Structure formats: structure tokens, C-alpha cells
Structure 1
Amino acid sequence: MSTDYDVIVVGGGMVGAAVAYGLTGLKRRVLLLDGADTDYRAAKANFGLVWAHGKGFEQPAYQRLSIEAAQAWPDFARRLEEESGISLAYERNGGLHFCLSEQELASRVKRIDAWHAQTPDISPTARVLDRNELERRFPTLRLGREVAGASLGDIDGHVNPLRLLAALQTAFVRRGGRLECNRAVMAIRALAGGGFEVSASGYSVRGGRVLIAAGLGSTALSAMVGLDVPLRPQRGQLLVTERLAPLLPVPASGLRQTGEGTVMIGVTQEEVGYDLATTAEGAVQMVRKALRILPDLARAKLVRQWACLRVMTPDGMPVYADSKSHPGASIATCHSGVSLASFHAGPYAKAFVGEASTAVLDDFHHDRFNVQKAA
């Protein structure tokens, strides 16, 4: 049967755009269907961290995936900037997780040691610095008196997330992909001769394969092709200041100074369903902690507070799975779309079309949530 495209990717956000970009590099005919700007977009709440250190604690497969993705980011960023003509403002000078007491610092030492022990074949990528070591390493930091030290991830960094998304979509189109915006997918139907028909806002198209990467919309869409993937929204509130002179030389967990000089402060982790409201309590929580770390922020003006929804699985790990009942239909979803962009555009795209081993995906199948089956 003739189809319009080799692959239809449903969802033009950070995950879908990265995979679509990778697939066009593998000479596949790809259609990328994106929804409306008013959709629940995790990219709007993205802190822009390319982060590995400490991620995947007690989850070695996720730890390994995060490290490999972070290590691949420099080459990925250079290539994407060349193809898109868009600067990503990507920097990889390390990332900090501050500790606000000696007890927190001691606990962090144990956690990072245990994290490294999960993957003994990988060279350590993080270390813990006490306050003296931290100030020697970053002499321009003016720390609050409670800061006892921090863990430092050597391969961590940050990027402008909105530029990243624009670059992925631009490079995808330049490679020959087709991007259709404001196309909310209403139905996915398997065809008798193979392939799928996707209907979206008065638009109908056929493809040999379908990849669902629609964030929180993936649960309803994946059910159309026999996939049962539990996802939930998690609200993250953020604050941003006016532009300031340099005061934070590298990004930190919950603090990041952008290339434009603004400082992002965040991020809350709230289980409130689909509520996108901002709260005074959330702002106070974030500001109090930020001031304990960087007291100089007390003189800064806050210019914006907003909230968006993360895409969360029950265990926080990504889901990559193929449908057994609808061969050719797959899902890819995670809450680390920026950090894992290099993986989605590279190894995942190759595995998706059978040009690389799929073994790396085995630990991320949604069957892990099926308690009956696991037992």
C-alpha cells in the first residue's frame, strides 16, 4: 500500500521534534504534526538544563542513558547550530547542586558515591566540593553563609530551551521534513494493508509508522493503538529576574543565569492535576531558598512568574515502547526532553528504524508498570 510518509510523528515538542530531526537525517520521509500554542507544553516550563549528575538514583539504566546523552550534547549542539543557523546558547562548564548545611553535604556525599557505584564501568562524572573548594573553583561566587558546599557535575550544562526547539524544527524542515502546526490529532487508525491513517483537525494523512510523542496528550492517543501508558501532570512554577551582572558562573539545580543575564529561579514540584495557576506560596518557597544560596538576588527585581506542566511517569523514567496489537505504532515520552535531545535525535532515531540495537530501550518499556505481569 502506498503511504504519504514513512513516519508520522504526533507531537512537535522537544521529544517529537528531536526524533523527527533524527529520522530525516536517516533519509526517512517524515511528517511532524504539532498542536496549538495553547496546548500543555512542557517546554514552556523547561529550565534549560542539560543534566546528568545525580539523575537516575537507584535507576542505573536511566543514569547510564542520562550520562551518555550529556556526553553526546557538544557534538549534537554543533551540528544542530550549523544546520539550523540558530545559536542554542549552549554551555558545558559543569552544574551545581548546593547543600545548605553540613548534614546536607554529608548526605550528598553518600548519595553521589552510591550513584557512581550503580555503574562501576563508567568513569565518575561528579564530585562533591566543600565550601572552601567551591569558592576556589568558582571565585566570583558570593555565597550565602549557610552554603556548606555543593556537588558538581562535570558534564552538565545549560541551553536556551526555546531556541533548541526552534532549531530542531527548523533543521527538520531543512532536511526535507514536513511540519504541520495547529493539527490536533483526533484519531489514529490502523489500515488493513499496513500503516496508519491519522486524522487531525480536518486533515487526513497516511504513514507507514506512527510515533506518539505528544506529552500529556500521549495517554489518550496511545490508547488508540493498544498502548496503555500512565502519565500525570506535575506543576512547576518558575520565576525570572531582570537582567543582572554575572553572579552565577554555571547553572545549578533551581538556579540558572541565562545568556541574557536574567536569573531563573525554580522549580516547584506540585501534584495539583492540570491546574496552571501560580501561587504566592510557590514564589516564597523558591525565593527563600534562592536567597540562602545567593543573597545578592535580594536586590533584583522579579519580572515574571509562570507555571507549566511536566510529563511524569510513575517512576520518573522515560517510556519507549512499540505496540504489540498495532505493529508500527510506538510511543516516546519523558520529562527530560532537553537533556535527552541528543539521544532522541541520534541513538533512538536509529533504533526506531532498525539501524541500531534496541537493547538500550528494553528497560524503558511501559510493561514495567504492569504489576501483575512483573509478578
Structure 2
Amino acid sequence: MHQRTPEITIIGGGIVGLSVALGLLQAGRTVQVLDGADGDARASQGNFGLIWGQGKGWNFAPYANWTMDALAAWPAFAQLLQELSGINLALDQSGGYEFFTDVQEMAGFTAEMTQQASHLGNRASYEMLSGDDLRSQLPGLGPKVVGASFSPRDGHLNPLRFLRALRIAVQNAGGRLRTGASVTTISPQPRGGFALTLASAEVLHSDQVVLCAGLGSAPLAGDLGFTTQVKPQLGELLITEKLGVRLPFLSSTIRQVDEGGVQIGGTKADAGIDDRESLRVMSDLARHAVTVLPALADVRVVRAWGALRVMSPDGYPVYAKSAAHPGAFLVTCHSGVTLAPLHASVLADWILNTSPTPDLEAFDECRFALSHAA
């Protein structure tokens, strides 16, 4: 069966793909999003919901500045999504902490924040606080906390509500969203455009293709001439019962969602494609949370899960245009929530080659070839 699809097809219906689709729709393009099977590894359904900049790009200036641009763009983007979807994302950008219980670990992060600030210039905004300073400001903080960094620009939102809002916004903006549409091969056509074969054997055609399928991009990237090898990174979470009181802080490892439950996370592990949680890691997470805020010792854990992040070879985003097959693009990153406002605006301009086209050369996949050559 052959069917003509819209001029741009997004492969991947997670936060990254939907954000890119929304930006292209806002620019007046006709867009279709192909979302895969329910059993696919989905970072968008297991993320922590942070909008975070601390330490990001400390050794890569383009990423430090890209992240700062995204943080500044979030309030207007949240308002746009609410207008298009009718969903309040529970956005809160009132600042966040990175807590430390080890002096040397804090010293290392302090050096990273200093380097990040050198990239950001007068846009840098953070402070390093001692444990005693923190305990005077945050009631109930544990005695083993030696200090923390704080940035007033960081925040969080309800991640599942965000994903739902994106899906609705894309459709209300005129986009077509197909679920259960797993792409098995992409074939560039001699006269331009692409033929996309689905697992159902249906063949679709598109003038342009943007590959945003996360870990599912790996078997398709070569069809379009891309060489980036993404890999999974396992993160594990604990979810507590809903609390009637609000936590006195937001941190990168402990956050309270707007409904009242507390999420505890922050782990990183190379576990292949296995997203199962482990008792050892769950115990470590609980121990960390109680060390930071001892009152959590009396709170019940009601859920636990593991989810796979999408990581490029150096951990930074990849925005690549295929030299071999014009009209094909690769977009992958592990900070899809934080970067969403830029994916829905600046990145769309880059894909459409508008004037002035944003300079995203630093995020091209050619940097991997250059590093190997060096």
C-alpha cells in the first residue's frame, strides 16, 4: 500500500520529536509524526521532569549557552503549550539545588560550575552554599549535607502532563500523529524524498525526514548516511506516596510533583537495553534521600522503575543534516525536557534553513570523526 504523507515526517513521537514537530507546524509546514510501538524504550515516559542548567556544558561552551537559552525560553513555551492544549504543565522555575554529602565531590562540582560560568559570562547565576548556611535556610536538612550549589534559573514540571500537552498541541496545530507506526527502513529516492517502510509493510513517502527516535534511531541512522551511535544509560527512580506538606526545596535528585508525591532519582549506569530496577540501587536512592532530608524516612515508597536515557558518544546533543541524502536530519539528546523550547523554535529554523539560519555546527556529528582523528 502506498500513501502520500505530509512534506515533513518526524520519526519518533516522544518529547524531542513532538517538540520539533510543533516548531515546524508553527512555521507553517505540513507535518506527520510516526510513533513506534508501546513496548519501545521510551525516555519520555520515564524522565525526571527537570528543567536544569547547573553544570551542563561546563567543558563545552556551546552546550552551556544552548541550555541557558532554553531555560530563558521556558515560560513563554509553557504558555504556548497551555493555549494549544488546555493543559497546565505545573512549571516551577523558582530555583534548584545540587546537594553534596562528600567534600571532595562538592569541590569537583564547584570547579565545574566555575568553568561553566566562564562560558556564560554575565548570564551565569549560581551560588555555592555551606551545609550550615543551608540548614539555616531549609528546615529539616540532614546534618551530613556538607553543602550545595543553587541556581535560581532551574526548575521542573509534570513530565507526563508535558508529554500529553505536546501530543495534543501538535494535533491542534494541524499535525498528524500516528501511533503504532514503527519504521523498519528508510529508502532515499532517486528523484528526492524518502520511502519509509513500516513494520506492517505499509510504505509511506515524505519529502523530508527528521529522525528523532531516541534509541530507536540506531538501526535507521545508517539508511540516511548518519554515523552517530547512541547508547542507553539506565536511570532508576523511587516514587513516594502523596504528601500533604510541600518539600522546602527542589533538587536534581529529590523533587516533589505538583500532585504531592516525591520522586527520588539521579542514578546513571551502563546496563545495555535492560531497564529493570534493582534492589541495591533502590536502597541507595532511599538512603540518599533520607540523608538529605531525614523526615523522608517515614514516607512510604509506592512505585519504583528504571528508564533508559539516550546518550550520544560525548553526552551532548546531535543535530545533523545528511550530506549524502539532502532533506534528512538526525536529532538526538538526553535533555529533551530542558531543551524543548529551542527544539520547537530555533531547531525548526535550522531544519527549514530560514534566514538567518542559526549556527548549530558545534552539535554536528562530524565532531566525533574529528575527535577520533585527533
TM-score of the aligned structures, taking structure 2 as reference length: 0.95
Cα 1:108/1:188, change in 2 over 3 Å: closer
Q: Which piece of structure 1 moves more, 277-286 or 358-367? A: 358-367
- After superposition, give the CA deviation of every residue in 1:202-238 in whole Å (9 maximum; x if it has no partner): 3322211000000001111111111111111111111
1:125-136 equivalences under 5 Å are 125-136=125-136
**Cα offset, 1:100, TM superposition:** 1.6
> Which whole-Å CA distance do the structure 2 matches of 1:249 and 1:358 have between them?
43
Moved more, 276-285 or 326-335: 276-285
Q: Secondary structure at the match of 1:282?
A: helix
- 3-state SS, counterpart of residue 110 of structure 2: helix
1:70-104: per-residue Cα shift (whole Å, max 9, x none)? 11001100111111101111111001101224444
Distance 1:329 1:303 in 2: 43
Which is worse superposed, 71-80 or 147-156? Answer: 147-156
> Which residue of the partner structure matches residue 142 of structure 1?
140
2:160 counterpart (155, 162, 167): 162
Distance in 2 (alpha carbons) for counterparts of 1:356 and 1:219: 31
User: What does the per-residue CA deviation read over 1:6-56, in whole Å, with 9 as the maximum and x for residues that have no partner?
Assistant: 200000001000000111001100000001221100112200000012111
* Higher mean C-alpha displacement, 107-116 vs 23-32: 107-116
CA apart distance, 1:148? 2.3
Mapped to 2, the partners of 1:203 and 1:89 lie a distance apart of 39
Confirm whether residue 58 of structure 1 aligns to residue 56 of structure 2: no
Contact 2:224 2:324 in 1 (8 A): yes
| 1:101/1:226 CA distance change after superposition, 3 Å | closer
Question: Match for 2:17: what amino acid?
Answer: G
One-letter identity of the residue aligned with 1:284: S
CA distance in 2 between counterparts of 1:253 and 1:372 reads 30
Gaps of 5+ in 2: none
Partner of 2:100: 99
For the 8 Å contact 1:232–1:311, the answer to whether it is kept is: yes
> 1:241 and 1:143 mapped to 2: Cα distance?
18
Render the CA deviation track for 1:250-275: whole Å, top value 9, x for unaligned: 42111111111111011321111011
Question: Deviation digits for residues 261-306 of structure 1, max 9, x if unmatched?
Answer: 1110113211110112211111111111111101011001110111
Letter of the structure 2 residue corresponding to residue 272 of structure 1: A
Looking at structure 2, the residues matched to 69 and 298 of structure 1 have their Cα atoms a distance apart, in angstroms, of 35
Letter of the aligned partner of 1:62 in structure 2?
A: Y
Q: Report the equivalent of 2:27.
A: 26
Cα pair 1:35 1:182 within 8 Å, conserved = yes
Distance in 2 of aligned mates of 1:181 and 1:359: 32
1:106 offset after TM fit, Å? Answer: 4.1
Q: Distance in 2 between matches of 1:102 and 1:325?
A: 50
List gaps (5 residues or longer) in structure 1. none
Q: 2:224, 2:100 → 1: CA distance?
A: 46
Q: Shift of the alpha carbon at 1:131?
A: 3.1
**2:349–2:358: 8 Å Cα contact kept in structure 1?**
no
Asked if the contact 2:134–2:141 (Cα under 8 Å) also holds between the matched residues in 1, the reply is no
Q: Could you tell me whether the CA contact under 8 Å between 1:142 and 1:247 is conserved in 2?
A: no
State the alpha-carbon separation in 1 of the partners of residues 229 and 309 from structure 2: 14
Once the two structures are superposed, the pairs formed by residues 301-312 of structure 1 within 5 Å of their partners are 301-312=300-311
Q: Is the CA contact 1:21–1:169 (under 8 Å) kept in the aligned structure 2?
A: no
- Give, in whole Å, the separation in 2 of the partners of 1:164 and 1:372: 36
Whether the aligned pair in 1 keeps the contact of 2:11 and 2:210 (CA below 8 Å) is yes
Query: CA 1:236–1:356 in structure 2 vs 1: closer, same or farther (change >3 Å)?
Result: farther
| Count of equivalent residues | 371
Deviation of the 1:359 alpha carbon: 4.5
2:36 maps to 1:38? no
CA RMSD of aligned residues (A): 1.8
Is contact 2:246–2:260 with CA below 8 Å preserved after alignment? Answer: no
The residue that corresponds to 1:337 in the other structure is 336
* Identical columns (%): 40
| Alignment match, 2:13 | 12
- Cross-structure match for 1:85: 86
| Secondary structure, aligned partner of 1:118 | helix
* 2:55/2:109 contact within 8 Å kept: no
In 2, Cα distance between the equivalents of 1:357 and 1:59?
24
* Cα distance in structure 2, aligned partners of 1:371 and 1:303: 47
Quote the residue 2:187 is aligned against.
189
One-letter code aligned to 2:93: R
Counterpart check, 1:328 vs 2:311: no
